[in-house]
Amino acid sequence: MAVETAPAKTTTGQKLHRIHVVVNGAAHDVDVEPRTLLVHFLRENLGMTGTHIGCDTTSCGACTVLLNGRAVKSCTLFAVQVDQASIATVEGLEKDGKLHPIQEGFHQEHGLQCGFCTPGMMMTAVGFLATNPAPTELQIREAISGNLCRCTGYVNIVKSIDYAARKLREPAEGKAPDVR
């Protein structure tokens, strides 16, 4: 799908840049102001409000998305930087009505309370598990050390990610042994 072309300049006379970006598998060609942060692009231009904003210092990770498969903080990226890139957000985790194992894990292990940090936590976990499919507890804790949660005390988030890791290993291994 393509989004309609916006004017080439903003009301303040700023030059706009056309970017082509694939978000959760759908292509978008959009004109953006250079200073538009990726998180605002996702939330305001594309209306995908699952990605949240929790700070202004690249500290909290509520805005985490996958950029070409790697978890990054979308508040510290300009949308122009992701031209030609592929972005994955929380909205793309569920496929064909089936929850992603990380979503299942957070629900089953009570890995969320207010839900505000949750999308960022889950995207961090998805990016991390792609590089480390059988992590230890400490490795999970390190992996989410750039994501702050104020509600859960992290214990159940760690369990949720471990749940997803096991589930993601299942097809290859039949069942997921405790590798730790």
Partner 1 sequence: MIPASFEYEVATDVAHAIQLLASSGGEAKVLAGGQSLIPLMKFRLAQPASLIDITRIAGLSGIRENGELQIGALIREADLEKNAIIRQRYPIIADTAAVVADPLVRNMATIGGNLAHADPANDHPATMLALRASVVAQGSKGERVIPIDDFFLDTFTTALRPDEILVEIRVPKPAARSGGAYLKLERKVGDFAIVGVAAVVRLDESGKIAAASIGLTNVGLTAIRARNAEEKLRGQAPDDKALAAAGAAAAAESQPVSDLRGPAEYKRDVVRVLTQRAIRKAVARAKGGN
Partner 2 sequence: MSVEIGGIGSSVKRKEDARFIRGKGKYVDDVKLPGMLYLDIARSPYAHARIKSIDTSKALKIPGVAAVITGKDLVPLNLHWMPTLMSDKQMVLPTDTVLYQAQEVAAVVATERYIAADGVAAIEVEYEPLPVVVDPKKALEPGAPVLREDREQKNNHIWHWEVGDKAGTDKAFRDAEVVVKQDLYIPRIHVASIETCGIVASWDKVEGKLTVWMTTQAPHAIRTVIALVAGHLGLAEHKIRVISPDIGGGFGGKVPVYPGYVLAIGASVLTGAPVKWIEDRSENIQADSFARDYHISAELAAKKDGTMQALRVKTIADHGAFDAAANPSKYPAGLFHIITGSYPFQKSFVEVDGAYTNKPPGGIAYRCSFRVTEAAFTIERLVDVLALELKKDPAALRMQNFIKPEAFPYKSALGWEYDSGDYGRALKLAMDTIDYAGLRKEQATKRAKGELMGIGISSFTEIVGAGPSKQFDILGIKMFDSAEIRVHPTGKAMVRLGVKSQGQGHETTFAQIVAEELGLPVGDIAVEEGDTDTAPYGLGTYASRSTPVAGGATAIAARKIREKARLIAAHLLEANPDDVEWKDYKFQVKGVPAKTKTMQEVAFAAYTNHPQGMEAGLEAVDYYDPPNLTYPFGSYICVVDIDRGTGEVKIRRFVAVDDCGTIINPMIVEGQIHGGLTMGLAPALYEQITYDEQGNIQGGNFMDYLLPTAMETPNWETAKTTTPSPHHPIGAKGVGESATVGAPAAIANAVVDALAHLGVRHIDIPITPWKVQQILKANGAAE
Chain residues binding partner 1 by CB under 8 A are 12, 14-15, 17, 33-35, 37, 56-59, 61, 64, 67, 70-73, 75-78, 80-81, 83, 124, 127-128, 131, 142-143, 145-147
Q: Which does 137 bind (CB under 5 to 8 A by kind): partner 2, partner 1, none?
A: partner 2
Instruction: From 95, 161, 174, select the one nearest 134 (Cα to Cα).
Output: 161
Counting beta carbons within 10 angstroms of the beta carbon of residue 165, is it exposed (0 to 12), middle (13 to 18) or buried (19 or more)?
buried
Site membership for partner 2, residue 139 (CB under 8 A): no
Least distance from partner 1 to the Cβ atom of residue 39, Å: 11
- Considering only residues 72, 80, 119, 166, which one is a binding residue for partner 2 as defined by CB under 8 A? 119
Tell me how far apart the alpha carbons of residues 9 and 88 are, in angstroms, rounded to a whole number. Answer: 28
Q: Which does 151 bind (CB under 5 to 8 A by kind): partner 2, partner 1, none?
A: partner 2
Helix, strand, coil percentages for the chain (3-state, nearest 5): 35, 15, 45
Q: How far is CA 75 from CA 53, 91, 95, 115, in A?
A: 7, 17, 26, 18
Residues that bind partner 2 (CB under 8 A): 11-12, 33, 35-36, 40, 43-44, 47-57, 59-60, 62, 89-91, 93-94, 99, 103, 106-108, 110, 112-119, 122, 137, 140-142, 144-158
